[in-house]
Amino acid sequence: MKKKGFTDHLEIIGIDHFPEVKEGDDLTDLFFKALEEKREKLEDGDAIVFTSKIISKSEGRVVDLSGVKIGSDAERIAKETDKDPRIVQLILNETKEIVRTEKNIILVETKHGFVCANAGVDESNVEEGKAVLLPEDPQRSASRLKKEIEERSGEEISVLISDSFGRAFRDGVTGICIGVSGITALLDRRGEEDRFGKIARITKEAVADEICAAANLVIGEFKEGIPIAIVRGLKLKRSEGDIKEVLFNREDDLFR
């Protein structure tokens, strides 16, 4: 097994000039066209990070706010949090459990099992009066894209789907992973020896999240319009991969 750290050089390549994505668009096809325009070729081991927004748009996860039917829970929570009741209803539709509410923020566990603000429901980078939901099953989307891209390129690659989440105890958002296929989400280094020959006791590294954080340094949600980045040079073992690897069982979560 090749391990992380045996690489001493990585590249992160932003895929720009990507068109605005609409429902039904073939992302694999758009990706290869953008690669070609950039005169870039995939290499074995590339990790391709897609921002969740283009996945959601291609999968039709854009909601027209004027059509949202507001229930009494949404009405009440909207008042408490000073949010648009239509947005609150969309958040509740995506939610397994509300963790906490504050002014303008509803911290939830989504149906996927992600703990994040506002269930990832987002009004940025979409037409006025619309909102974008997280992909329905980003793990499945990652697997499908990986399969399609491998078939077309002939290279063994991995696909990660990223979003920007806030964190506990620190201000600001960072790129994190919500779906991964082709590499492990969590690199388990327990049992490896350190430089002094001692056995590591508790080092599980969330490499999928680190890769998405790295990609986020070139992926831009603003006018730059870079929705995809390739992280090249990782020497991670091939693995089915599943973002559930990083999701705690409720009883193991020190923070709830």
Q: Is the dihedral of CA 229, 176, 133, 112 positive or negative?
A: positive
Nearest one of 12, 7, 37, 26 to 217, comparing CA atoms: 12
226-245: which residues touch its own copies (CB under 8 A)? 226, 231, 234, 245
Residue 166 Cα distances to 82, 115, 169, 253, angstroms: 19, 10, 9, 17
Q: Which is nearer to its own copies, 33 or 147 (CB)?
A: 33
Q: Which is nearer to its own copies, 25 or 148 (CB)?
A: 25
CA distance 160 to 185: 9
**Does 151 contact its own copies by CB under 8 A?**
no
**Does 96 contact its own copies by CB under 8 A?**
no
Residue 245 Cα distances to 24, 110, 162, 180, angstroms: 30, 16, 16, 10
Bridge partners (DSSP) listed for residue 226: 220
Q: Is the dihedral of CA 44, 46, 208, 90 positive or negative?
A: negative
**Does 191 contact its own copies by CB under 8 A?**
no
Of 125, 144, 148, 150, which one interacts with its own copies (CB under 8 A)? Answer: 125
Name the one range near its own copies by CB under 8 A: 29-37, 135-143, 154-162, 166-174.
166-174
202-221: which residues touch its own copies (CB under 8 A)? 202-207, 209-211, 213-214, 216-221
Q: Sheet of 95-102: strands edge to edge?
A: 95-102, 105-110, 115-117
**Does 196 contact its own copies by CB under 8 A?**
yes
Name the one range near its own copies by CB under 8 A: 14-22, 24-32, 56-64, 65-73.
14-22
**Phi and psi for 73 in degrees, rounded to 5?**
-60, -45
Name the minimum Å distance from CB 140 to its own copies.
20
Q: What binding mask, one character per residue, do residues 48-77 give for its own copies by CB under 8 A, x or -?
A: ------------------------------
23-52: which residues touch its own copies (CB under 8 A)? none
